[in-house]
Structure 1
Amino acid sequence: MNFVKRAGTSLRARKSKTAALLAIFVVICTLLLGGFLLQTAAARQEADAQRSIGVDVTVKQKGFTPVLADRLGAFESVNRYNTELAVRAGARNVVPLTSDAPKPGSTKAGGKDHAPEPLAVTGVRDSGMLLPFSYGSTKITAGRGITPKDADADVVMVEQRLADANRLTVGDTLQVRSADGRRTASLTVVGVFQDPTRDPSEWAPPQELPGNALYVPVGTAQQLGATGNPTVVEAVYRIGSPERAEQLHAEAERLLGAGGFDFRVNDKAYKDQVRPIQQVGAFAGLVVWVVALAGALILGLIVTLQIRERRAELGVLLALGEKKWRLIAQHAVEVAVVALPAVALAALGGHLAGQPAGEAFLGGQGDEPVAAGDAPHAVKVEPATVEVELAAVGKVAGTGLGISLVSTVIPGVGILRLHPRSILTDTE
């Protein structure tokens, strides 16, 4: 009889033991599938966290120009970056805010300062990367922030107090003149923000009042600067992981010169959010290995007991001329036939319980805003999505068949050393 047919006959004849073997295999395959799904979900969430959080690297240098900042931002490891220029500008069609406290040497409150540049203008490439905005302390109350798409646009963000005093809303036009008075820029208000910083209790010039702060694109700030090429105060580059900081540092040395710049890495947000996800992924990998080894050991013991119980059957088959390798193959087929429906049942269980289990392990990693520096970061990682994919089922099937092969071949080695007479006469 063909050993495959003989395996089917044996399984039907031992229904209770076949059911027990199936139950064991279902447990093993379910745990394996859970480990694979958790690994995949952790890797997906880690990638999302790297894209949304990343590691912020701040670069400062005397004479750091926007051109050099853009060249460094074009490096392949940089996902997002912002450059920051600080200039002063004069007001044309708006009235700047003034301090309510008396100016030193004056007895009147609200002393006027006729400084030619009463507005503090900051040129940015991406306002969302500014610390006050990313931490959430400074909020946009109307409109939007400045993005890289605004590089060639004449747009501006104004503070809420200046907007209220001059009745400015999104879409209005704000005219400012350069520090040397030679150029005038007409800027469209695209956003209104609210800075929580209070006005100083003592007198301060208008350009130092938080309400007189404006944010414009870097190109606009360059046009308004007193010099033809104002330098960058600082540039912040977001990379995927701390390991890439060394690559960025090497690129900065190539562009800016070795040792001639300040390079600071802030990876606290990354560590707070990504490292726990990596630990979950490592734990899932450990679960897979433990389950595979334990499953092979348990099934190996079961097959060993079955071989001992079926010694008479083996002796008769060997006496009839059956080859030893075919007897081992029969046991392997019996276990493999049980493994396949176990994989299907495990896949069904993973589809029903995979998402709740994934949220239990990974859901808490993205529930709270992560910390960066000394303030809460506004970035939030989305909860992990656990899906039973064909690749994961294939891994479970391959691992399960590998376990079935190992658990039958190793115990079956003993059959190769026996002869029909020794099997039939051995009563143990």
Structure 2
Amino acid sequence: MNLFKRAWWRLRGHPGKTVMLVGLFSVICTLVLSGFLIRSAAARAADSAKSSVGAVATMQLDVEALISSGGASQGDGARPGTIGPGGDLRSKLVDKVCGSPVVASCNYTVDSGAAPTDQVALHRQGEPPAGQDTTGTDLFRAAGVRDLDSVKEFRNGDSKIVSGSGLERDSASDAIVVEERVAEDNDLEVGDRIRLRVGEIDPEKGGMSTEEVEFTVGGVFRNDTADTGTYVPAMADPANQVYVTPEGATRLQGKEPTAGGAALRDATFTLRDPGDLGRLKKDAEAAGIDIEIFPLSANDKAYRTMVGPINKTADFATVTVWLVAVAGTVILALVIASNMRERRKEMGILLSLGEKKPKLLGQHLVEVVCCAVLAVGFAAAGSRFVAQTVGDRLLADQVSSAEDAAANEGPRRDPSDPTGLTHEDPDGAEPVDSMDVELGADGIGAVGATGLGIAALATIVPGTRILRLNPRDILTKGD
């Protein structure tokens, strides 16, 4: 007799057991499919986060590597060693690295100071305490930037241009942007020519340099930090912040830009993918930068902050899939083994009538596979709701844990901030707190393959006992 007909009659003749097997399979397939859906939704969310924010790679001077390479003078005890031109990272080389296909954006800065002149005075909120020496702090804080819009204060709205324009790559090398209060104190307007002194000590004279650098006021900005009316060191006062080009900041250091561009001490690159640091290093070497002296280090905190909770959710879903698959196989194997014990007489009669053992095992497999196919259909109908509900709950717990951990971690240095200051949330990144579960052909195919695999294992493992028996043993020995 055809094994498929026997399987069909068996399923119809024992509806209670058929429904139980379908129900058990449905629970297993629903949990497995929900795990697959959560994992794929998490992967999509992580890919979306990856495209929206990349790692920030910082390139800066390693003084020890420079000394080891012989690029700096060691000094002899009477005279200290100096870094020298070998420690200058040139902007033209960095511009080549900025053109790498793995770089989404880049910026570099030259931090320097500028001393006031008889033409431009510092903004003061109050007089210093009596007897306090302010020589080292009576300076403008000058930041040479590649693009003013990329400076953190302008990105987050703490500062904004109120007159003229900011600084861009094609700005004139002598352009300067000053704060509104300094402009008012000194009657400065856009287009005025001003002079500032180099903010470095002249080693020959033993005092502050008297060399002056000329600039043209290209813009005036306003910083939202209001005056307190009490004394603040000039360099710490936001009103005394000025922005110049990298070339201008180089001149304020007492140096002259060379054919290689401005002298930098660090540069930052935002990568399209946090895993592209290796490719960036190769591109930097191809551009002519010695990455032993100017090593690249990645800060992928923004990416890790965003995808950390959702990756943990995906990991939990993966573990759940394996646990449910293994446990489901064991449970089904026990149920099917018990079912086969009840059907010993039926199997003995069929074997005595000449039925082949593999066909007898095949009948059981067909019965279980039919139940599995029905279960996959039921799982496809309800698993999306289960996956969305469970996934959202798991993700909310992971996000809450991540926020608590971040609150206890404290501030860290932001390498993309030209001021180099620390901030509570340097990258402004928030964890991904939602996922969109989508049911597609891949998920149904995956759970279908898993369900059929479980059905096959759960049937074949206990069914191998049938292949070791003969009709006489089955019919005479009973259980």
Q: Given the two structures, how large is their TM-score scaled by the length of structure 1?
A: 0.75
- Counterpart code for 1:237: F
Q: Quick one: structure 1 residues 42 and 9, their matched pair in 2 at CA, closer, same or farther if it must change by over 3 Å?
A: same
Structure 1 gaps, min length 5: 106-114
Q: Deviations over 1:308-363 (max 9, x none)?
A: 11122222222333322222222112111111222222222222232222121223
Q: Secondary structure at the match of 1:256?
A: coil
| Number of the residue aligned with 1:124 | 146
Provide the residue aligned with 1:40 in structure 2.
40
**Identity rate, percent:** 32
In the alignment, the residues of structure 1 paired with residue 460 and residue 268 of structure 2 have an alpha-carbon distance, to the nearest angstrom, of: 59
Per-residue Cα deviation, 1:242-298 (whole angstroms, up to 9, x for no partner): 765565456556632253235554455555554444333332222211111111111
Q: CA deviation at 1:402?
A: 0.8
Instruction: Report the more deviating stretch, 297-306 or 282-291.
Output: 282-291
Deviates more, 1:81-90 or 1:409-418: 81-90
Cα contact 2:58–2:297 (8 A) shared by 1: yes
Instruction: Provide closer, same or farther for how the CA distance between residues 34 and 203 of structure 1 changes in structure 2, counting only shifts above 3 A.
Output: closer
Instruction: Give, in whole Å, the separation in 2 of the partners of 1:410 and 1:425.
Output: 24
1:17 aligns with 2:17: yes
Residues 1:298 and 2:331 are matched in the alignment: yes
- SS of the aligned residue for 2:268 comes to strand
Instruction: Tell me which residue corresponds to 1:231.
Output: 263
Aligned residue number for residue 434 of structure 2: 384
Residue in structure 2 matched with residue 259 of structure 1 by the alignment:
292
Q: Is this contact kept in 2: 1:87–1:221, CA < 8 A?
A: no
Within-5 A mapping of 1:69-218: 69-86=94-111, 98-102=123-127, 120-125=142-147, 127-128=149-150, 130=152, 139-140=158-159, 151-152=169-170, 174-175=190-191, 177=193, 184=216, 186-187=218-219, 193-195=223-225, 201=231, 204=234, 209-215=237-243
Residues 241 and 365 of structure 1, relative CA distance in 2, 3 Å threshold: farther
- Describe the shift of the 1:84–1:182 C-alpha distance in structure 2 as closer, same or farther (beyond 3 A): closer
Equivalent residues in 2 for 1:359-370, closer than 5 Å? 359-365=392-398, 368=403
How far is the alpha carbon of 1:32 from its aligned partner? 0.6
Conserved? CA contact 1:59–1:235, under 8 Å = yes
Q: Secondary structure at the match of 2:264?
A: coil
Q: Deviations over 1:133-183 (max 9, x none)?
A: 78x6x735689xx999x5447899775756898999xxxx94365867777
Instruction: Give the letter for the 2:270 counterpart.
Output: R
The 10-residue stretch of structure 1 (418-427 or 245-254) with the greater mean CA deviation from structure 2:
245-254
- Contact preservation (8 Å) 2:114, 2:142: yes
SS of residue paired to 1:175 = coil
Q: Which moved more, 1:94-103 or 1:32-41?
A: 94-103
Alignment length (residue pairs): 400
- Structure-1 residue corresponding to 2:203: none
Q: How has the CA–CA distance of structure 1 residues 385 and 103 changed in structure 2, closer, same or farther, with 3 Å as cutoff?
A: closer
CA shift for structure 1 position 58 = 2.2
Does structure 1 retain, via aligned residues, the 8 Å contact 2:32–2:324?
A: yes
Structure 2, unpaired ranges of 5+: 62-86, 131-137, 196-211, 413-421
- Asked if residue 6 in structure 1 is aligned to residue 6 in structure 2, the reply is yes
1:52 deviates by 4.6
The equivalent position to 1:401 in structure 2, one of 435, 439, 452, is: 452
Give the Cα separation in 1 of the matches to 2:262 and 2:41.
47
1:322-341 mapped onto 2 (5 Å cutoff): 322-341=355-374
Query: Shift of residue 83 of structure 1?
Result: 1.5
- CA 40–196 in structure 1, closer or farther in 2 if over 3 Å, else same: farther
* Change in 2 beyond 3 A, CA 1:295/1:80: farther
**What residue in structure 2 maps to residue 27 of structure 1?**
27
Q: 1:386 and 1:233 mapped to 2: Cα distance?
A: 44
Q: What residue in structure 2 maps to residue 112 of structure 1?
A: none
Residues of 1 paired with 2:192 and 2:237: CA distance?
17
Distance 1:147 1:409, change over 3 A: farther
Matches of residues 309-320 of structure 1 in structure 2 within 5 Å? 309-320=342-353
Any conservation in 2 of the 1:158–1:214 contact (CA below 8 Å)? yes
Give, in angstroms, the shift of residue 398 of structure 1.
0.9
Q: Partner residue of 2:463?
A: 412
Once the two structures are TM-superposed, the CA of residue 14 in structure 1 deviates from its matched residue by 1.2
Alignment-mate amino acid for residue 375 of structure 1: H
Question: The residue matched to 2:93 in structure 1 has which SS?
Answer: helix
How far off is 1:28 after superposition?
A: 0.7
Distance verdict in 2 for CA 1:394–1:196, change over 3 Å: farther
Alignment check: 8 A CA contact 1:104 1:203 kept: no
Amino acid at match of 1:98: H
Name the structure 2 match of 1:109: none
CA gap 1:380/1:401 in 2 versus in 1, 3 angstroms:
same
Q: Partners in 1 of 2:315 and 2:449 — Cα distance?
A: 21
Structure 1 residues 381 and 215, CA gap change in structure 2 (3 angstroms): farther
Taking a change above 3 Å as real, the CA distance of residues 415 and 257 of structure 1, as seen in their structure-2 partners, is same
**Do the aligned residues in 2 keep the contact of 1:295 with 1:403 (CA within 8 Å)?**
yes
Report the AA paired with residue 421 of structure 1: R
Change (3 A) 1:334 1:246: same
C-alpha distance in 1, partners of 2:297/2:227? Answer: 26
> Contact (CA 8 Å) 2:109, 2:143: kept in 1 or not?
no
